[in-house]
């Protein structure tokens, strides 16, 4: 095939993907949202033709830079944390040397020390996103010639400059301060409004607003008049754009919280900017509403992703803390709901500070410690304990972080909830136990909730009735993870799909039908049929309708605690009589090995047995690792990373009404 033919084929494929995406997106929209999208499209077209000079050439005059109350003093107080300072010092040297690594991908090293990175370079392919194109004309969702757009966005969040600024002020390092400000100035110069790939997503602007405010708060004394005007102009252009294109309707998830928080922060800290008063007022109003919308009364994040719950909570914490510091506190309901979210996160936190990676997890955070993946959930949980004055919410393992400049690190709480807790609104049952009688501590989570939030459930997975298990603070039965977003294509579908999760699938089909990287054509609806909340011998029976339309049956799963460290899982199909080809999978952490044992398997490492699984039913069992066509036995330990992992699978013909029973035994005991 010639180059021209290949280009034509790629262009056609891209066009087909765009058409399919718009079709599927429309299916998820209400009539009101369709009208909103039409108006939004009109605003985009008007903006492309004519932007007000009051925005593009905004003159801030002598307007003061924003200053985050308490941040500089808090950063100074972190100086005693030598480990954190050592980490920041190494980070500064990496930035100075031009060594950038985000999401598992290395950027080309800078030609000379201190040189800013190429803000439009896709490090996965070496291609450059068009820097001068109108931002809404760049089809970043459908491109096949580039890697995931999240790569270039991650760099342009400018979060890597936050610890550079913190180190500069604590170490009194003028060279580090200049390095930070040079990079900030270079970003503004290379990204004129509203050109290039760094402008079409409002949540990316929200992240950048916070980064800029952190930087200028810490380095205010080193910013001259010319740079001050440049920064204030850029902040106004960010705020104006976020305000002009808000996330609404099916997009009103964590994006809406981020945008509202950014406008609230910017409006509060830069009150002389045009529109600042309205930004502050509307941002606060949105946050007061969304904390109740996006966090269930029992504390579960509605997006069905602990990582995204932590991200949403970080935005809420930052805005709420600023309100306290400026004499405009948020309501009691606001803080109570945040505290309830902390309770849920504490319940699903194991003895070493880890959580099941349910739903999407892309390493997003608002305040950053560097370029590497971070233990964000643990850190945010500590911030909740600090902000809400509830020491019992403190995580078991301390995580030193730049966030502690605003939220002093609480004393680690080595005591955690024990027993069984049923989160009815959020849709999880959690069992966690301390080490006792030779049985190691363990955490089990059972999912009987919705797929995700709003009509598109963007960050949920087809994991209905899945379970996760940690033993001795180590993940054993794991979630497959996320891997990639827009650039993932078939792999994105796999990692969201049912076969990648610890549940049952019929004929290899997903319990919820995928229709794009952040959309669903059909979502499984789960319901709890029976609950016995006896803390010692509890049981939960739930089912879902994900296969009702295609196979005329429901998947029913009963999970029960039968003794110390022992559980029984019973899977069955209810509905129309018939035989169905099923798989029931258990994805195992690659840090363990899996060995056949009788009618089941034993999961162990070089030291001890973590879990034994016994099977009683008509299915055959085996282990598969790193299989392709079809994909089986993979996990993603971090965004952009894919690796094999052993998957225990039981498969065969299952007749409606026939139970499949699994005995699970934690530690050395027999199930």
Contact predicate 158/211, CB 8 Å: yes
Residues 169-193: what's their mean pLDDT? 98
List, in sequence order, the alpha helices (H) in 360-408.
376-388
- Residue 575 parent element (H or E): strand 566-575
Q: Answer whether residue 189 shows pLDDT above 80.
A: yes
* Contact call for residues 458 and 599 (beta carbons, < 8 A): no
Q: What would the two tokens of residue 523 be?
A: 């979502």
Band of residue 81 on the pLDDT scale cut at 50, 70, 90: low
Give Cα 50 to chain centroid, integer Å: 36
- Model confidence over 105-160: pLDDT tens digits? 999 998 899 999 999 999 999 999 999 999 999 999 888 889 999 999 999 999 99
Q: Taking the alpha carbons of 506, 508, 509, 514 in that order, is the dihedral positive or negative?
A: positive
Burial class, 282, CB count within 10 angstroms (exposed 0-12 / middle 13-18 / buried 19+): middle
Cα 475 to Cα 396: distance, rounded to the nearest angstrom: 16
CA nearest 463: which of 427, 436, 500? 500
410 DSSP 8-state letter: P
Mutual angle of helices 376-388 and 332-347, in 10-degree steps: 140
What are the two backbone dihedrals, phi and then psi, of residue 309, each rounded to the nearest 5 degrees?
-60, -45
Q: Kindly list the distances between the CA atom of residue 295 and the CA atoms of 263, 313, 338, 601, 648, in Å, as whole numbers in the listed order.
A: 21, 9, 8, 38, 34
As a whole number of angstroms, the distance between CA 666 and CA 671 comes to 8
Helices within 326-422 (DSSP H only):
332-347, 376-388
Give bridge partners of residue 635 from the DSSP assignment.
643
493-505 pLDDT, tens digit each: 999 999 999 999 9
Contacts of 346 (CB under 8 A, 6+ apart): 381, 392, 393, 395, 416, 417
Which position has the token pair 């400000």?
A: 181
d(CA 21, CA 517): 9
Q: In what order do the strands lie in the sheet with 579-587?
A: 504-506, 579-587, 646-655, 620-625
Helices (H) and strands (E) in the chain, counts: 17, 23
Give the pLDDT of residue 22.
60
Q: Is the dihedral of CA 480, 157, 299, 546 positive or negative?
A: negative
Displacement of CA 427 from its chain's centroid (Å)? 18
Across residues 429-458, what is the average pLDDT? 96
Domain boundaries, the chain: 1-50, 52-244, 246-412, 419-666
* Helix, coil or strand: residue 234: helix
Which phi and psi angles does 641 have, rounded to 5°?
Answer: -115, 135
Render pLDDT for 34-67 as a digit per residue (tens, 0 to 9): 888 899 999 999 998 999 999 999 999 999 999 9
**pLDDT tens, 501-555?**
999 999 999 999 999 999 999 999 999 999 999 999 999 999 999 999 999 999 9
Q: Cβ(554)–Cβ(560) under 8 Å?
A: no
Percent of the chain having pLDDT more than 70?
96
Q: What are phi and psi of 116, to 5 degrees?
A: -65, 155
Q: Alpha helix locations (H) across 522-569?
A: 548-551
Using one digit for the tens of pLDDT, what is the confidence trace for 315-366?
A: 999 999 999 999 999 999 999 999 999 999 999 999 999 999 999 999 999 9
For 222-266, what is each residue's pLDDT tens digit?
999 999 999 999 999 999 999 999 999 999 999 999 999 999 999
Give the closest residue to 654 by CA, choosing from 550, 582, 568: 582
Domain 246-412, what architecture? Answer: Alpha/alpha barrel (1.50)
Over range 79-91, report the average pLDDT.
86
**Angstrom distances, CA of residue 393 to CA of 79, 198, 417, 430, 431:** 25, 37, 10, 16, 17
Which of these, 266, 280, 281, lies nearest to 234 by C-alpha position? 266
Task: Quote the CA–CA distance of 266 and 276 in Å, as a whole number.
Answer: 7
pLDDT value at residue 7? 47
Q: Give residue 52's Cα distance to chain centre.
A: 36
DSSP-assigned states of every residue in 102-123: ETTEEPPPPSSTTPPP-TTB-T
Using DSSP's 3-state secondary structure scheme, residue 227 falls into helix
Name residues whose C-beta falls within 8 Å of residue 157's C-beta, 6 or more positions apart in sequence: 204, 207, 208, 211, 368
The full length of the chain comes to 671
Judge whether 48 and 136 are in contact, CB under 8 Å.
yes
Q: How many CB atoms lie within 10 A of CB 229?
A: 17
For residue 594, pLDDT over 60 is answered with yes
Q: Please check the confidence at residue 19 and state whether its pLDDT lies above 90.
A: no
How many angstroms separate the CA atoms of 406 and 69, rounded? 9
Q: Compute and round to an integer the Cα radius of gyration of the chain.
A: 25
Let me know: does 202 contact 245? Beta carbons within 8 Å. yes
Token couple for 525: 């609806």
More confident residue, 1 or 220: 220
CATH, domain 419-666, list 3.30.70.330, 1.10.10.370, 2.70.98.70, 3.40.50.300? 2.70.98.70
Instruction: Tell me the pTM.
Output: 0.95
- What band does 6 get if pLDDT is binned at 50, 70 and 90? very low
Distance (Å, whole) CA 324 – CA 318: 10
Calculate the average pLDDT of the chain: 94
């Amino acid at each position: 095939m010639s180059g021209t033919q290949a280009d034509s084929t790629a262009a056609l494929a891209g066009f087909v993907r765009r058409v399919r995406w718009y079709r599927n997106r429309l299916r998820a929209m209400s009539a009101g949202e369709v009208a909103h999208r039409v108006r939004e499209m009109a605003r985009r077209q008007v903006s492309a033709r004519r932007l007000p000079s009051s925005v593009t050439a905004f003159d801030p005059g002598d307007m003061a830079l924003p200053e985050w109350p308490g941040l500089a003093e808090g950063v100074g107080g972190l100086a005693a944390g030598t480990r954190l300072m050592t980490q920041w010092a190494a980070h500064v040297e990496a930035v100075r040397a031009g060594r950038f690594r985000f999401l598992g991908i290395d950027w080309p090293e800078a030609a000379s020390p201190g040189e800013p990175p190429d803000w439009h370079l896709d490090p996965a392919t070496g291609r450059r996103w068009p820097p001068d194109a109108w931002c809404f004309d760049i089809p970043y969702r459908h491109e096949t010639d580039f890697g995931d757009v999240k790569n270039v966005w991650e760099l342009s969040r400018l979060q890597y400059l936050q610890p550079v600024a913190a180190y500069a002020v604590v170490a009194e390092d003028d060279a580090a301060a200049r390095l930070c400000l040079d990079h900030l100035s270079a970003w503004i110069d290379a990204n004129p409004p509203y050109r290039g790939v760094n402008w079409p997503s409002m949540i990316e602007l929200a992240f950048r607003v916070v980064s800029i405010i952190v930087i200028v708060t810490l380095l205010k004394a080193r910013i001259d008049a010319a740079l001050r005007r440049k920064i204030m102009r850029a902040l106004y252009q960010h705020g104006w754009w976020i305000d002009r294109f808000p996330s609404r309707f099916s997009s009103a998830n964590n994006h809406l919280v981020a945008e509202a928080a950014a406008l609230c922060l910017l409006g509060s800290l830069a009150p002389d900017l045009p529109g600042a008063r309205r930004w502050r007022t509307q941002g606060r109003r949105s946050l007061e509403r969304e904390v109740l919308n996006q966090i269930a009364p029992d504390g579960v994040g509605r997006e069905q992703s602990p990582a995204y719950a932590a991200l949403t909570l970080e935005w809420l914490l930052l805005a709420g803390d600023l309100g306290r510091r400026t004499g405009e506190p948020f309501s009691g309901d606001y803080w109570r709901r945040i505290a309830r979210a902390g309770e849920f996160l504490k319940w699903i936190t194991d003895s070493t500070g880890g959580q099941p990676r349910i739903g999407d997890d892309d390493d997003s955070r608002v305040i950053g410690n560097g370029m590497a993946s971070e233990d964000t959930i643990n850190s945010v949980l500590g911030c909740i304990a600090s902000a809400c004055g509830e020491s019992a919410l403190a995580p078991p393992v301390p995580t030193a972080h730049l966030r502690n400049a605003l939220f002093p690190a609480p004393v680690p709480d080595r005591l955690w909830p024990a027993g069984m807790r049923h989160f009815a609104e959020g849709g999880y049952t959690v069992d966690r136990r301390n080490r006792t009688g030779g049985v190691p501590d363990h955490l089990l989570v059972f999912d009987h909730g919705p797929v995700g939030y709003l009509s598109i459930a963007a960050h949920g997975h087809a994991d209905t009735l899945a379970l996760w298990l940690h033993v001795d603070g180590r993940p054993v039965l794991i979630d497959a993870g996320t891997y990639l977003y827009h650039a993932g294509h078939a792999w994105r579908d796999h990692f969201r799909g049912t076969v990648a999760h610890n549940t049952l699938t019929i004929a290899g089909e997903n319990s919820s039908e995928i229709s794009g990287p952040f959309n669903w054509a059909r979502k499984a609806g789960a319901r709890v049929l029976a609950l016995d909340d006896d803390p010692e011998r509890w049981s939960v029976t739930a089912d879902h309708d994900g296969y009702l339309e295609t196979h005329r049956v429901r998947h029913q799963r009963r999970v029960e605690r039968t003794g110390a460290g022992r559980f029984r899982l019973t899977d069955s199909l209810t509905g129309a009589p018939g035989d169905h080809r099923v798989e029931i999978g258990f994805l195992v952490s690659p840090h363990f090995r899996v060995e056949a044992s009788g009618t089941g398997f034993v999961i162990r490492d070089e030291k001890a047995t973590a879990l034994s699984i016994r099977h009683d039913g008509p299915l055959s069992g085996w282990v598969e690792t790193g299989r392709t066509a079809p994909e089986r036995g993979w996990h993603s330990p971090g965004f952009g990373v894919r690796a094999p992992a052993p998957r225990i699978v039981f498969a065969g013909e299952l007749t409606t009404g026939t139970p499949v029973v699994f005995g699970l035994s934690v530690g050395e005991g027999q199930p």
